[in-house]
Amino acid sequence: MSVTKQAVIERLKTVNGPDFTGNIVDLGLVSEIFIADGKVFFSITVPAARAQEMEPLRAAAERVVKAIPGVTGAVVALTAEKKGGGMENAPPRPAVQPQPRPAPATRPTPHAPPSESRGKRGVPGIAAIIAVASGKGGVGKSTTAVNIALGLSANGLKVGVLDADIYGPSMPRLLNIHGRPQTADGKTLRPMENFGLKVMSMGFLVDEETPMIWRGPMVMSALTQMLREVEWGDLDVLVVDMPPGTGDAQLTMAQQVPLAGAIIVSTPQDLALIDARKGLNMFRKVDVPLLGIVENMSYFIAPDTGKRYDIFGHGGARREAERLGVHFLGEVPLVMDIRETSDAGAPVVASKPDGAEAKIYREIAAKVWDRLREERGGAASAGPAIVFE
């Protein structure tokens, strides 16, 4: 059964607007609706000052749409009515300079390896560890992380992936890896491999449907073991798919692991950018270099007509990067191929390497590598530089 826009609109009219003042359709809060392969995409505009309390409204809209016969899924986002980007009260930062940053006077001397600094012990054989993070879930962070990793590999680097999302590990499914890792000596685990990547994930150690009801210390213990008790071998880059948000696990990971840099993934709408800024600030507080921002789900090109839809807005992450003085790494469109190949366990960079989407990820990966070189003073093989204040 095909789903029509009118059917979606009629269902959305049953969802009350803020303060029960009519329904969200008649109030003009619903964006243009797009439907593809039974999936429904739209956003709801809400007052920026009341964003936090509007999540039940978004969930209600998603729920009634999913109940429509023929609907296989719904992507519903909140977006804020904005003035001057919705972030005009924040102090401006200087524009990004393309030259490498000069080393601060407090940077460790060449004779003091970073692994001995401030308790951040390096991992033997791994030249650089980078984190891919987001201020909130649902922005496509894991899909972005794995395709950047594959892009780095396609560009000639030796790459590994650590799935640090203990509560919702995605790498086993994204990379179509099954089974349990073997041990090298009864203590050290051998990483799983596919598409040229070495991978470790909690998803290899527990069943997919087993809930992880762990507190912070248990999470950190598991992450430490997956990082330091794995036979990674020689890697140019280890990509860490961080948990979403900025909680205790994320902060401790950033404080204890010698990260060479961090990438923030966000969607274009203002509310996602507010959460993205929290992630940026977290890494800044622990002196982790910011490699840049990726705008995911930047726009949608209808496969049947070729028409472009800015379902979640467009360009918000680029503007935010410019405002904060952070590099903008690129924009990834909302494309069916990316979703389908990810669901099938064959990410687009690996399964369709000559496609337009794979090219986007490879270009982002190249920018990431360039940024790493800048942060390390242009030395491709030098260890990550840890900066202190």
Question: Where is average pLDDT lowest: 281-295, 314-328, 369-383?
Answer: 369-383
Q: Report the pLDDT averaged over residues 203-229.
A: 71
φ, ψ for residue 160, nearest 5 deg:
-125, 165
Q: Identify the residue with better confidence: 210 or 203.
A: 203
Determine contact, residues 328/321, Cβ cutoff 8 Å. Answer: yes
Measured distance CA(303)–CA(306) in Å, rounded: 6
Place of tokens 């709801």: 44
> What is the pLDDT, as a whole number, of residue 92?
37
Q: 114-375 has which CATH code?
A: 3.40.50.300
Tokens of residue 73, six digits: 């899924």
Res. 363: pLDDT tops 90: yes
- The phi and psi torsions of 174 (rounded to 5 degrees) equal -60, -35
Confidence of residue 110 (pLDDT cuts 50, 70, 90): very low
**β strands within the chain, DSSP E:** 34-36, 39-47, 73-81, 129-133, 159-163, 192-194, 197-201, 237-241, 261-266, 290-301, 308-309, 328-334
End-to-end Cα distance, the chain: 61
CB 12 within 8 A of CB 24: yes
User: Domain 5-82 falls in which CATH fold?
Assistant: GMP Synthetase; Chain A, domain 3 (3.30.300)
Quickly state the pLDDT bin for 117 (edges 50, 70, 90): very low
pLDDT for the residue numbered 383: 38
Handedness of CA 77, 279, 252, 169 (dihedral sign): positive
Percent above pLDDT 90 for the chain? 31
**pLDDT for res 356:** 92
Q: Taking the domains of the chain in order of start, what are their residue ranges?
A: 5-82, 114-375
Determine contact, residues 297/332, Cβ cutoff 8 Å.
yes
DSSP characters for 50-110? GGGGGHHHHHHHHHHHHTSTT--EEEEEEEEE-SGGGTTTSPP-PPPPSSPPPPPTTSPPT
Q: What is the pLDDT of residue 69?
A: 92
* Helices 5-12 and 55-66, packing angle to 10 deg: 130
Q: How high is the pLDDT of residue 64?
A: 93
Tell me the three state secondary structure of residue 305.
Answer: coil
The two beta strands, 290-301 and 261-266, are parallel
pLDDT band at 96 (very low <50, low <70, confident <90, very high): very low
Q: Are 29 and 46 in contact (CB under 8 A)?
A: yes
**Higher pLDDT, residue 385 or 250:** 250
pLDDT at 386 over 50: no
* pLDDT confidence of residue 197: 96
pTM (two decimals)? 0.68
368 falls in which pLDDT band (50, 70, 90)? very high
